């Protein structure tokens, strides 16, 4: 049994006349009759009652007709979906991201992409950088936004964003109105920072910045995401060094102050597998505003 035989059967079932069905199918009657006979032989029961004057569906043929209609429609749907997937206009993309990407335009990029490709579903998964690298290896995500690179030979990457760190301090802090400060001025402050186990790259960067300024930071509170870090600073629980994009939070009781003489930047990389076969992924990469 094949789809061609089912199409022939459905046409005869609708016409109840082999001659008219053959005309509708643009074939001669003998091969149509032979195809129906082969179909009946294959399935082991009669679909039609035939005589010199009439053609009628058997009870089994009536049920078979309903199922054949659904199967042919499903086959057509499968073909159309396959074409759309092959052309990169249908399917899903799983994107890993760190929480800071919410302040770096991730929502806007996804919205723009889905406006252009409305039948592609974007699934966002918040993970730290190391979790994203593992998820990419296991093909649990198609693309990631990370702050540290893994030297995997089968990974491709591009720099997505490089930005300065700024001081995040309470609005009532005596340094809050400064346009720029030296990090050494914070040597006696309580710092709010990621645990090293969660974000070793950021932890090492920020502590290195403080060491370069002549002190080791006292880490009073360990927090897992930037938003909560800024919230604790706003509550007067300490100070923090955060990427400049966090200014987008526009907190009333927090000041973001530039750091004098600091050349350490927060970098975000877009990573994916080199030998992927996803046209959807290629389309998404084409829409991202990578720096020149």
How far is the C-alpha of 223 from the C-alpha of 174, rounded, in Å?
Answer: 24
CA distances from 110 to 104, 243, 267, 270 (A): 12, 22, 20, 14
What is the DSSP pairing of strand 155-170 with strand 265-273?
antiparallel
Q: Which of 28, 53, 86 is the last residue of a domain?
A: 86
Q: Looking at the domain assignment, is residue 245 inside a domain?
A: yes
Rounded Cα distance between 222 and 197, Å, is 10
Quote the crossing angle between the two packed helices 279-287 and 106-116, to the nearest 10°. Answer: 120
What residue ranges in the chain does DSSP mark as E strands?
Answer: 48-50, 55-57, 91-97, 120-126, 143-146, 155-170, 180-181, 190-193, 218-222, 240-243, 254-259, 265-273
> Model-level pTM?
0.69
Nearest alpha carbon to residue 241 among 199, 271, 291:
199
**pLDDT 10s digits, 51-69:** 877 899 998 889 999 998 9
Predicted confidence at residue 153, as pLDDT, reads: 75
Structure tokens at 34: 């032979």
Q: Which of 93, 105, 92, 151 is nearest to 268 (CA)?
A: 105
Whether 19 has a pLDDT exceeding 90, the answer reads no
71 and 96 share a domain?
no
For residue 37, give the CATH number of its domain. 1.10.10.10
Tens digits of per-residue pLDDT, 40-54?
A: 888 889 989 888 778
The CATH number of residue 272's host domain is 3.40.190.10
Asked whether residue 241 falls in the same domain as residue 276, the answer is no
292 assigned to some structural domain: no
Q: Does the pLDDT value for residue 119 go beyond 90? A: no
> What is the domain extent for residue 26?
3-86
Structural domain includes residue 134: yes
Per residue, what are the HEC states of 57-78?
Answer: ECHHHHHHHHHHHHHHHHHHHH
């Amino acid at each position: 049994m094949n789809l061609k035989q089912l199409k022939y059967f459905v046409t005869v079932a609708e016409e109840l006349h082999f001659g008219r069905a053959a005309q509708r199918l643009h074939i001669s009657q003998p091969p149509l009759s032979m195809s129906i006979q082969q179909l009946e032989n294959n399935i082991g029961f009669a679909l039609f009652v035939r005589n010199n004057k009439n053609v009628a569906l058997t009870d089994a043929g009536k049920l078979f007709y309903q199922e054949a209609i659904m199967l042919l429609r499903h086959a057509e749907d499968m073909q159309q979906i396959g074409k759309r997937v092959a052309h990169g206009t249908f399917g899903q993309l799983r994107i890993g991201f760190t929480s800071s990407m919410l302040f770096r335009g991730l929502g806007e990029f996804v919205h723009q992409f889905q406006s252009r490709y409305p039948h592609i579903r974007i699934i966002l998964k918040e993970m730290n950088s190391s979790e994203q690298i593992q998820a990419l290896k296991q093909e649990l995500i198609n693309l990631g936004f990370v702050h540290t690179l893994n030297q995997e030979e089968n990974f491709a990457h591009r720099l997505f964003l490089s930005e300065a760190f700024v001081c995040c301090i309470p609005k009532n802090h005596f340094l809050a109105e400064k346009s720029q400060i030296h990090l050494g001025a914070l040597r006696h402050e309580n710092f709010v920072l990621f645990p090293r186990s969660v974000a070793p790259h950021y932890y090492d960067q920020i502590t290195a910045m403080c060491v370069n300024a002549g002190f080791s930071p006292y880490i009073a509170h360990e927090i897992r995401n930037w938003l909560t870090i800024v919230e604790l600073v706003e509550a007067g629980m300490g100070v923090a060094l955060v990427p400049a994009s966090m200014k987008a939070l526009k907190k009333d009781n927090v000041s973001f102050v530039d750091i004098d003489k600091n050349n350490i930047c927060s970098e975000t990389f877009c990573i994916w597998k080199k030998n992927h076969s996803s046209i959807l992924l290629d389309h998404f990469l084409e829409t991202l505003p990578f720096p020149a």
